[in-house]
């Protein structure tokens, strides 16, 4: 059994994903019932549902990156010899890491601007706090892609397996 920060982080990611997805489903169901049966609407429910959808999507992307189930273009990989496949994968993941790192920087700048503007979101909470998912997931994906790139680039120097 693995111990340390990585499995704990994985459990946290998956727990937050399950929590946000469950809350989203329950709130949407309650909102539909209240509207159709009692003509009541919760004014804060729709903005919260949009926020939960955002968090669910970004957490799902972070988990997909960890599991190697993210979208990627691999047409060249199928045609390349095994030795080059590792190198091409490493270069592709290195590029993805750089893109995610740039998006992390942009997300941090965005949050700083939101904080300075004093924008509020659901229930009057500061919008920048609700949008922390942007730099957290882009930063996590950048680190994961960098780790995967290093593993593949080092593997490209080994002899190809039959």
Q: Give the model's confidence band at 1: pLDDT under 50 very low, under 70 low, under 90 confident, else very high.
A: very low
Instruction: Specify the residue for token string 């941090």.
Output: 108
Same domain, 2 and 57: yes
What is the mean pLDDT of the segment spanning 90-105? 95
Same domain, 48 and 120: no
Sign of CA pseudo-dihedral 136, 58, 143, 113 = negative
Contact 104, 58 (CB under 8 A): no
Same domain, 148 and 101: yes
Contact 148, 68 (CB under 8 A): yes
- Rounded to two decimals, what is the model's pTM? 0.85
3-class DSSP assignment, residue 126: strand
Same domain, 158 and 119: yes
3-class DSSP assignment, residue 41: coil
Residue that finishes a domain, picked among 54, 71, 88: 71
- What's the mean pLDDT when you consider all of the chain? 89
Residue 1 corresponds to which tokens in the numbers above? 């059994």
Same domain, 55 and 82: no
Same domain, 82 and 161: yes
Residue that finishes a domain, picked among 71, 101, 129: 71
Same domain, 15 and 63: yes
Its domain, for residue 41, covers 1-71
pLDDT at 67: 87
Domain count along the chain = 2
The CA–CA distances, whole Å, from 149 to 72, 94, 136, 160 equal: 14, 5, 20, 17
Residue 64 corresponds to which tokens in the numbers above? 């997909």
């Amino acid at each position: 059994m693995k111990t340390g920060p990585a499995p704990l982080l994985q459990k946290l990611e998956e727990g937050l994903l399950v929590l946000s997805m469950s809350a989203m489903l329950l709130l949407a169901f309650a909102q539909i019932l209240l509207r159709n049966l009692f003509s009541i609407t919760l004014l804060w429910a729709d903005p919260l549902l949009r926020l939960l959808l955002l968090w669910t999507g970004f957490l799902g992307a972070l988990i997909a990156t960890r599991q190697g189930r993210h979208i990627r273009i691999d047409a060249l990989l199928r045609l390349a010899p095994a030795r080059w496949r590792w190198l091409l994968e490493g270069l592709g993941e290195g590029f993805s890491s750089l893109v995610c790192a740039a998006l992390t920087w942009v997300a941090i700048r965005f949050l700083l601007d939101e904080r300075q503007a004093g924008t509020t979101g659901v229930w009057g909470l500061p919008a920048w706090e609700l949008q922390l998912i942007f730099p957290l997931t882009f930063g996590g994906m950048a680190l994961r892609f960098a780790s995967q790139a290093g593993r593949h680039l080092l593997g490209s120097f080994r002899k190809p397996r039959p």
